[in-house]
Amino acid sequence: MVFGIASYKLLETDTTARDQKNEVLTKVLMQGLSSAHYSPERLDDNFSKKAFNLYLERLDHNKKFLLQSDVDQLATYQTQLDDEFKNGSFKFFDLSMSLFQKRLKEAESYYKEILEKPFEFDKEETIEVKPEKLKFASSPAALKEEWRKYLKYQALIRVADAIDSQQKADSVGSKETKKSMPEIEADARKKLRENYDELFKRMGQLENEDYRSSYLNSFANIYDPHTEYYAPKEKEDFDYEFSGRLEGIGALLQEKDGVIKVSEITPGSPSYLQGELKPGDVILKVAQGNQQPVDISGMRIDKAVTLIRGKKGTEVRLHVKKVDGTMKVVSIIRDVVVREEGYAKSLIIKGQKPIGYIHLPAFYADFKNAGGRNSGKDVANEIQKLKQENAQGIILDLRNNGGGSLQDVVDMVGLFIKSGPVVQVKSANGPAAVLEDRDPQVQFGGPLVVLVNENSASASEIMAAAIQDYKRGVIVGSSTYGKGTVQQFFDLDQVLPASFDAVKPLGHLKLTTQKYYRISGKTVQLRGVTPDIVLPDTYTYLKYGEKEQEYALPFDEIQSAKFNTWNSPNFSIEKLKASSKARVAASPTFSLINQTAMRLKERTETSTRSLKLSTYLAEERKAQEESKKLENLRKNIPQLDVAGLKQDLSKLTGDTAASARFQAFTRNAKKDLYIQEAVSILKDGL
């Protein structure tokens, strides 16, 4: 890619090094976005307004710092940001930082004063919890009142937790001294004060440059949500896998809108094996074992990483906010990630007609080592082992598989078809390139089920789409994520000549450069892949996926590739669908999963919460009771008769750690309701 920056000159020597770097950075970003993005934006007043709104939302997402008068002052620039971006000017950004730092100091005085007095939890009072429904305060007094309700809500949660803990202790006959309500309330305020003292201390240490990436991404993200600028340190954070190289928990984090979210769980890691931490979870606090938790709201990602990672065998407790808004403490014992667990692995499901089960956590490939492992070859190997154990059908599990190597998708689809196109990839200009399987050999020609869910993305969607378009197998589960775009990283330092060394390092630009298309011509963008047989899922009714992202690229279609559908189907999709529907309707567990999904939808759509303790406790206990019902039903699910493959079991002898991991994998598969339904679908077709 040619960024065309070489003709630019550095600013005059009387300007600061910061100004020089900012000018070069914005110009090289603008050039890259304009010349290499799949769908370049026109830099005009409309673009400027979008960037203004996006930046304001991220600067003060919860509307707890800026006043409406501040917003009005900043709004005088809302049609000028495109010009500033072109010219490398940061006047608007500098003004926003000046106002924000001023309001930060005022907010510090608010929380200190408010937390000096006890809260009254017997009053009928509510709080709005959805930031998008909040308005900027009209005055300092109004903002202070918002802080009072906000802090009261956080104290209420802590008080309710303490009451719940005491009641549980009573139920098991604990002799610990019970605290009175005033003592519990005082403890809650004390802990809040300590957390906010630490939070404001950290925020006070941040400089304007620490907010620069967020500002620049207010421009980049207008192009699409996956196009982003990464400062040098932030690029390291992006690549950082806690336990891939260090001892930790095995989760990839991202900072967005002032909170730290889990974006990915490393397969085989402590987080993966523990099972409670999920992509989308917001980490609010971090505790080292039973020590006092540290609030990481607003914390820099590198600082949060330092708190979460640690030595093998030590415990970290993460206070997380789940996707449905509930709070949970997730305890994880740190360890070294075992890379073997990130690879494809199989089980045999016993019966008159044995069925093979392949779990694929990612479409992995070792690009640096020509002889390294890749998912295409590994799945081929698993299929061969399953055939040796007389597997009559195969379940390929792509749930929570976020994608990876495109070539491995092509290789893997080729294991199940004779030959033909697998996916179409198109750049902004020119015809689509068709990636094909050219090997006429079919490694497995029997019945096939592909399991997917809302976290199956990118390469997983291409795999499922190809199998569906060829009518080669049955796609089962819930609609996939809907990401049909391709990104590429560009090192900004490498596109600049040596004459710019004085302002380096500049960081990286991640650009959306292509789109994926199914062989039928449709993209999976926004719509994902709709399964042939849809099963109830906890997140069915929640707003989730690419379609919920701001400025996502649109769905579109291109010409279909030429292909022949599978010529020897062993089953009728309609009959399988009807049988599955009857089983699901008769299943108490699936019924409760559907009810839980509807309640989660209602909870997320209800944006106000009561600040009255009795009301809050009643709502939480009801939610806990419903959760326990589902947990108990799942415990009573009949177990599948599964076993490890003979070749794999022979390798476990003497390796206690590997044996423990295998047992956990087997135990989870035995009671997985979705695997059980996939088995029933295959049996209907055999």
Instruction: Report the percent of the chain where pLDDT is more than 90.
Output: 61
Residue 13's pLDDT is: 41
What is the pLDDT at residue 586? 94
Q: What type of residue sits at position 121?
A: F
User: Among 381-385, 386-390, 468-472, 585-589, where is mean pLDDT lowest?
Assistant: 585-589
Which tens digits make up the pLDDT trace of 323-375? 877 889 999 998 865 556 678 999 999 999 999 999 999 898 876 666 677 89
Coil, strand, or helix at residue 517?
strand
Residues 567-623: pLDDT tens digits?
Answer: 876 678 999 999 999 999 999 889 888 888 888 888 888 889 999 999 999 988 887
DSSP letters for 576-598: HHHHHHHHHHH-HHHHHHHHHHH
Worst-scoring range by mean pLDDT, 104-113, 486-495, 575-584?
486-495
CATH class of this structure's domain 242-336? mainly beta
Q: What does the block give as tokens for 573? A: 């999709």
- 572 as an active site residue: the answer is no
* pLDDT band at residue 1 under the 50/70/90 scheme: very low
Asked whether residue 115 carries a pLDDT value surpassing 50, the answer given is yes
Q: What's residue 368's pLDDT?
A: 60
Domain boundaries along the sequence of the chain: 40-223, 242-336, 340-419+441-483+525-545+574-685
pLDDT at residue 466 in the model: 98
Residue 15 has a pLDDT of 53
Mean of all residue pLDDT scores within the chain: 88
Contact at 8 Å (CB) between 296 and 283? Answer: yes
Please give the pLDDT value at position 629: 79
CA 325 and chain centroid, separation: 15
483 in active site: yes
CA dist 338 → 277, 501, 657 (Å): 18, 40, 10
Q: Stretch 497-510: mean pLDDT, rounded?
A: 88
Per the structure block, which two tokens stand in for 524? 């999976």
Instruction: State the amino acid at position 142 in one-letter form.
Output: A
pLDDT digits (tens, 9 = 90+) for 32-89: 999 999 999 999 999 999 999 999 999 999 999 999 999 999 999 999 999 999 988 9
Which position among 213, 346, 405, 458 bears the catalytic label? 458
Judged by average pLDDT, the poorest of 14-18, 337-341, 522-526 is 337-341
Averaged pLDDT, 501-507:
88
Q: How confident is the model over 408-418, as a mean pLDDT?
A: 96
Percent of the chain residues topping a pLDDT of 70: 93
| Mean pLDDT across 180-185 | 94
Q: Comparing 242-336 with 340-419+441-483+525-545+574-685, is the CATH topology the same?
A: no
Q: What's the rounded mean pLDDT across residues 375-388?
A: 96
Write down the pLDDT at residue 54.
96
Pick the CATH number of 340-419+441-483+525-545+574-685 from 3.40.630.30, 3.40.50.300, 3.10.310.40, 3.90.226.10: 3.90.226.10
Q: How confident is the model at residue 241 (pLDDT cuts 50, 70, 90)?
A: very low
Known catalytic membership, residue 520: no
**Mean pLDDT, residues 373-402 taken together:** 95
**Burial profile 202-224: b = 16 or more Cβ within 10 angstroms, e = fewer:** bbeeeebeebbbbbbbbbbbbbb
pLDDT at 7 over 50: no
The residue type found at 681 is I
Please tell me which residue in 469, 532, 537, 672 is annotated as part of the active site: 469
User: Confidence band (pLDDT; 50, 70, 90) for 280?
Assistant: confident
Longest alpha-carbon distance in the chain: 83
Q: What is the pLDDT of residues 530-555, one digit of tens each?
A: 999 999 998 888 888 999 999 999 99
Whether 12 has a pLDDT exceeding 60, the answer reads no
The catalytically annotated residue of 426, 483, 522, 577 is: 483
pLDDT (average), residues 294-307: 81
Name which of 255-264, 390-399, 428-437 the model is least confident about.
255-264
Nearest to 425 by CA among 449, 383, 455, 459: 459
Nearest-Å Rg of the Cα atoms of the chain is 27
Range with the poorest average pLDDT among 200-214, 371-385, 496-510:
200-214
Q: What is the mean pLDDT of residues 288-298?
A: 88
What's the confidence (pLDDT) of residue 664? 86
Q: Which range is least confidently modeled, 303-307, 404-408, 508-512, 560-564?
A: 303-307
pLDDT at 339: 56
Per-residue pLDDT, 46? 97
